[in-house]
Structure 1
Amino acid sequence: MGSHAAAKRRRPIVSGALGVTLLAALLCVPSAGGAPVSADACRTGDTEMPRGDCGPFWQVLAEDFNGDRVPLGAFSDCDHHADTSGAYCAGLTGTYRDNWWAYPTGWRDTANDRARDVVGVYHPEDTVSVGAAANGDGRMRVRMWRPADGGPVHAAAVVPRAVMQMKYGKYSARIKVTKQAAGYKSAWLHYGGGCEMDHPEGEWTGSLSAFHHPCGGGAQGSFHGADDWTEWHTVSTEWTPGTVRFFVDGRERGRDTRGVPDRPLSWVLQNESALEGPGAAPGSSAQLEITWVTAYAYGWK
């Protein structure tokens, strides 16, 4: 779940050849050719970044990180128009300054509100970078770490500016934890006004899950997504009027229709100190890599 301090609906029965096709898409089962059919609106389950509009969604962001390199230190001076669509990091340049923001240095992570022994403070300047992997693939890297002297975890929350304060939409990314250590987690989320949708969420040494906290209260919806953060996964959230759906690797892992937000919210790629289990050890670090991110606005068609 996310915060910062300053600092099942029944599916209709279908029949015939068309029904079999639709049902296969919903369940992400193999097609006649043997390949799995993704259940999400853009068929987003493969390794390739999807491009173009799909269903009721039109693409407003497609980032594969194959452009300019962004070294450590560039995600700095981010306290400009914070938490608004005008937010920016003055340390960034070019398209990255246009397209990305991060929680400013000094904002406290969620663990600070949970009386945890180990808490975190956002430091995008020394945790976030963009560059090529050994195979040439461009990636955003989030390397969180705890100082050897035992101070707070250096955490990171990055925000695509194109979908800040946007109502409804589709949000997808391909991610992998490339270095594990106890005490680090993600909670990528939309939240505000008593509403919250988290996907993916979980300690990096555990499993991926999705959570929906209905607007106005009520029991949270909890949905298991995948067992292991250290495998590549494609994660997607589809948020439409009255429904939120969560997908991992093309399979629908859960949906909820209770108290779904109907107000503009930002998509926050939040990574922070753990809320469960052991805290990060002094001198430890862990790393998440993102090979692409896409986002879509929602429109009636």
Structure 2
Amino acid sequence: MLFLCAGLVLVAALVWLPRADGAPAPADACRSTGVALPRGDCGPFWQVLAEDFNGDRVPLGAFDDCDHHADTSAAYCGGLTGEYRDNWWAYPSGWLDTANSRDRDVAGVHHPEDTVSVGPAPGGDGRMSIRMWRPADGGPVHAAAVVPRAVMQMKYGKYSARIKVTKPAPGYKSAWLHYGGGCEMDHPEGEWTGALTAFHHPCDGGEQGYFPGSDSWTRWHTVSTEWTPGNVRFFVDGRQTGHDTRSVPDHPLSWVLQNESALEGPGAAPGSSAQLDITWVAAYAYGWK
């Protein structure tokens, strides 16, 4: 559930983890490495979102009628109720995914109403599930991009989640991102049958930064992006996997948990499906409140 945290920032000591070459690498500021949802402020970040999906269930079909004030901080899905309407939005049904502009044989169309649900896993753990699929008749992939409303159009911050692809299949990917004004930060990104990576596309159009994070989406990972003035850092399971200082965004951007058809490799086969599960999401504003 959404968690709004008031009060002063708790100053956390900087923690160091060893790199493969033996040199120290900065750790995630909030030590976001465990199974449990982290709660509370850390370092220069104060928490504005803490969602473990252990509240109300959201069945397939509820992420519907999302074309209200689309892509603004006032956006909402008319099919949702209560806290989920207050806290979550999704790209409306009918919006095209990225592959449509890449001359791919198989592209996708956003359909949050038949891809996104929230409920307990067999062990009882609450999860948001993104089940993308392609119709048996060979139509477009049904894609989904969900957006936490608490951090829409926010400048700087820390963004974390615990994720796993529970059913892989060729032709499906994620690119969770902040973008706009010629700037883009993507983490995690990659085809679900490949490696989990991060990218930074500098605002000045410079060469992209590419940062490998893990060789597999099919194990549980805690992923974090820390965006501060002049810096963007990427973490996987508490280990820094990338850092860039080149033309980092300095204006408000939204965090989009984007999942869509693949941009590389084979397209999704007719009748196929793939699923990503999210067991918690946490986000933090930057600086003293």
Task: Work out whether the TM-score is over 0.5.
Answer: yes
Show the counterpart of 1:236: 224
Structure 1 residue 28: deviation in Å? 4.9
Structure 1 residue 299: deviation in Å? 1.1
Q: Secondary structure at the match of 1:259?
A: coil
Show the counterpart of 1:269: 257
Contact 1:69 1:130 in 2 (8 A): yes
Show the counterpart of 2:6: none
Say whether residues 1:284 and 2:272 are aligned partners. yes
Q: Secondary structure at the match of 2:16?
A: helix
Letter in 2 for 1:218: G
Structure 1 residue 151: deviation in Å? 0.3
Say whether residues 1:193 and 2:181 are aligned partners. yes
Matched-pair identity in %? 83
Structure 1 residue 27: deviation in Å? 2.7
Show the counterpart of 2:16: 26
Distance 2:57 2:18 in 1: 36
Runs (5+) with no aligned partner, structure 2: 1-12, 20-24
Show the counterpart of 1:148: 136
Structure 1 residue 117: deviation in Å? 0.2
Dislocated runs of 4+, deviation >3 Å: none
Distance 2:123 2:262 in 1: 31
Distance 2:233 2:66 in 1: 32
Distance 2:17 2:288 in 1: 24
Show the counterpart of 1:8: none
Show the counterpart of 1:213: 201
Distance 1:275 1:27 in 2: 34
Q: Give CA-to-partner distance per residue, 1:127-175, whole Å, 9 cap, x none.
A: 0000000100000000000000000000000000000000000000000
Q: Give the direction of change, closer, same or farther, for the CA distance of 1:48–1:67 in structure 2 (3 Å limit).
A: same
1:107-126 to 2 correspondence within 5 Å?
Answer: 107-126=95-114
Q: Give CA-to-partner distance per residue, 1:246-265, whole Å, 9 cap, x none.
A: 00000000100001000000
Structure 1 residue 47: deviation in Å? 1.0
Distance 2:28 2:84 in 1: 28
The TM-score with structure 2 as length reference comes to 0.92
Structure 1 residue 216: deviation in Å? 1.5
Q: Secondary structure at the match of 2:84?
A: helix
Say whether residues 1:61 and 2:49 are aligned partners. yes
Contact 1:173 1:290 in 2 (8 A): yes
Show the counterpart of 2:4: none
Distance 2:189 2:18 in 1: 22
Distance 2:187 2:199 in 1: 7
Match of 2:89 among 87, 96, 101: 101
Structure 1 residue 300: deviation in Å? 4.2
Distance 1:243 1:214 in 2: 11
Structure 1 residue 48: deviation in Å? 1.0
Q: Give CA-to-partner distance per residue, 1:15-67, whole Å, 9 cap, x none.
A: xxxxxx96xx33357xxxxxxx9811101111111000111100000000000
Show the counterpart of 1:17: none
Contact 1:38 1:44 in 2 (8 A): no
Number of corresponding residues: 272
Q: Secondary structure at the match of 2:253?
A: coil
Show the counterpart of 1:45: 33
Q: Secondary structure at the match of 1:112?
A: helix
